[in-house]
């Protein structure tokens, strides 16, 4: 298992290029099952999760070639409509094959995703959506067995705005008979990018980026070529790394309009920002100001940036409160940040942070993808050396993060921690 060894205290300087979005690429890769043939996807990030879904696509019978940041996917001979537990247990997003398999083969057997580090993450809305499109759903020994001779359009209202359920239902509805309307749909840029991909395949979708999406079922879908949108969470993570280290940097090949809320909070915290079409320049100025954050669905403040914000507020000049309304239990990073000297009290779904003058390097343990990003940011700001264990978590969603940080001047090394857990 790898670990990172970080010597903190170096202000990050220079330019960093943002990779394609993990959370847009995952459903788009699954959507290639909808119509047999060859697809070319560009700006695909080189991540562990992308390798997992590529492996799943191969299990289903697709051919997947991955070179640099382009992926060639041939689903002509896909014929095995199943997502086995071994793969789904490593990545919940495997559930995204449910809609495409049901559409393509009229049946699907998909393992139910288990729990995750920070509590229950149900998929009831995915299943409700499929049933409303006419599928028969049966749960059997940890698997979803879904069947439908022909999916039919329907009016679907989601009690909770869900990124995953909106994406899965959109994919199942594009070649269903008739019209589907999704109410309280997710407005996230990753869902808009998925919708743009489906339209490039010949689908008829309107209302992307709003709470009301309309899909006219079509039987004319065809393979296509498509470029994945930049990763807004990687963008926000590097900007926060620039501020927590009191540095000056530019993130390039990003989409600033996808990060309005985070940019507004960074400004309140004291960052000087200049925003161009596809790049953002950040300059630190003086002390970091304490700023409260409450996470929300898009375009609110993303829960995937909650842990990184707590890291920043740990060295702010005062007190702040960070509340997670999407995942109330998403605080597994707090005890580890305390090991680095942070002063945080967690109560229910809020963290009460009192900024300290200096964090101190220590050995810490990653528990999930964004929690590990918060540990890396804190270690970069801390005095002395930190060992960050289980960095396989961060490799799930950040492409070669240590190399990108090194280019910005960080003292970071990836080493084998000699442990086999
Ligand atoms: C997506 O997860 C992202 N993952 C998550 O990012 C992100 O945290 C989340 O959206 C929220 O923004 C991917 O895109 C692969 P949801 P998803 O369905 O689709 C409840 C990362 O770090 N819900 O929008 O699983 C759910 O419990 C990952 O990259 C139901 O109740 O999230 C949660 O409270 C972590 N029933 C809320 O909705 C359902 O069937 C939002 O979940 C589905 C969801």
Q: What is the pLDDT of residues 174-210, one digit of tens each?
A: 999 999 999 999 999 999 999 999 999 999 999 999 9
Q: Categorize the per-residue pLDDT at 420 as very low, low, confident or very high, splitting at 50, 70 and 90.
A: low
Q: What is the pLDDT of residues 80-108, one digit of tens each?
A: 999 999 988 889 999 999 999 999 999 99
Q: What is the pLDDT of residues 314-326, one digit of tens each?
A: 999 999 999 999 9
Query: What's the gap in Å between 162 CA and the centre of ligand 1?
Result: 6
Please give the number of the atom of ligand 1 that sits closest to the Cα of 369.
22
Average pLDDT over every residue of 147-153 = 96
CA-nearest residue for atom 6, ligand 1, is: 304
CA-nearest residue for atom 35, ligand 1, is: 304
Query: What's the gap in Å between 12 CA and the centre of ligand 1?
Result: 31
The residues facing 127 across adjacent strands are none
Q: Categorize the per-residue pLDDT at 117 as very low, low, confident or very high, splitting at 50, 70 and 90.
A: confident
Cβ–Cβ contacts within 10 Å for residue 141, how many?
A: 8
Query: What's the gap in Å between 164 CA and the centre of ligand 1?
Result: 6
Average pLDDT over every residue of 240-244 = 98
Chain centre to alpha carbon of residue 2: 22
DSSP 303: G
Distant-in-sequence, close-in-space partners of 382: CB < 8 Å, separation ≥ 6:
6, 8, 9, 340, 341, 358, 359, 360, 361, 362
More confident residue, 391 or 418: 391
Pocket lined around ligand 1, Cβ cut-off 6 Å: 23, 26, 93, 121-126, 160, 162-165, 186, 190, 303-304, 326-327, 369-370, 397
Above 60 in pLDDT, residue 421? no
Q: What is the pLDDT of residue 419?
A: 63
Query: What's the gap in Å between 195 CA and the centre of ligand 1?
Result: 18
């Amino acid at each position: 298992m790898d670990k990172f060894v970080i010597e903190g205290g170096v202000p990050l300087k220079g330019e960093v290029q943002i990779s394609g979005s993990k959370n847009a690429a995952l459903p788009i890769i699954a959507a290639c099952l909808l119509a047999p043939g060859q697809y070319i996807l560009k700006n695909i990030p080189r991540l562990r999760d992308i390798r997992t879904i590529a492996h799943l696509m191969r299990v289903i019978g697709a051919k997947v070639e991955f070179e640099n940041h382009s992926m060639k996917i041939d689903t002509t001979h896909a014929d095995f409509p199943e997502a086995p537990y071994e793969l789904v247990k490593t990545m919940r997003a495997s559930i995204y094959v449910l809609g495409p398999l049901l559409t393509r083969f009229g049946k699907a057997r998909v393992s139910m995703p288990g729990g995750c580090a920070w509590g229950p993450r149900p998929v009831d809305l995915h299943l409700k959506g499929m049933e409303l499109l006419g599928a028969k759903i049966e749960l059997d020994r940890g698997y979803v067995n879904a069947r439908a001779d022909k999916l039919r359009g329907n009016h679907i209202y989601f009690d909770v705005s869900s990124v995953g359920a909106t994406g899965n239902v959109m994919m199942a509805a594009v070649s269903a008979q008739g019209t589907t309307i999704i109410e309280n749909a997710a407005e996230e840029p990753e869902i808009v990018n998925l919708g743009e991909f489906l339209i490039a395949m010949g689908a008829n979708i309107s209302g992307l980026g709003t709470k009301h999406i309309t899909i006219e079922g079509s039987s004319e879908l065809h393979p296509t070529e498509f470029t994945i949108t930049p990763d807004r969470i990687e963008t926000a993570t590097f900007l926060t790394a620039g501020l927590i280290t009191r540095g000056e940097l530019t993130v390039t090949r990003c989409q600033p309009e996808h990060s309005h809320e985070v940019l507004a909070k960074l400004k309140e915290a004291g960052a000087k920002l200049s925003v161009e079409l596809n790049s953002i320049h950040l300059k630190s100025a003086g002390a970091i100001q304490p700023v409260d954050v409450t996470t929300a669905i898009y375009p609110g403040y993303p829960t995937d940036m909650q842990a990184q914000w707590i890291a920043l507020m740990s060295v702010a000049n005062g007190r702040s409160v960070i509340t997670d309304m999407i995942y109330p239990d998403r605080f597994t990073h707090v005890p580890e940040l305390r090991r680095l000297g942070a002063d945080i009290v967690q109560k229910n779904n809020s963290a009460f942070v009192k900024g300290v003058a200096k964090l101190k390097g220590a050995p810490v343990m990653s528990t999930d993808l964004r929690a590990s990003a918060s540990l890396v940011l804190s270690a970069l700001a801390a005095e002395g050396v930190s060992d960050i264990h289980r960095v396989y978590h961060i490799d799930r969603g950040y492409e070669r993060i240590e190399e990108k940080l090194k280019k910005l001047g960080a003292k970071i090394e990836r080493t084998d921690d000699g442990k086999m857990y």
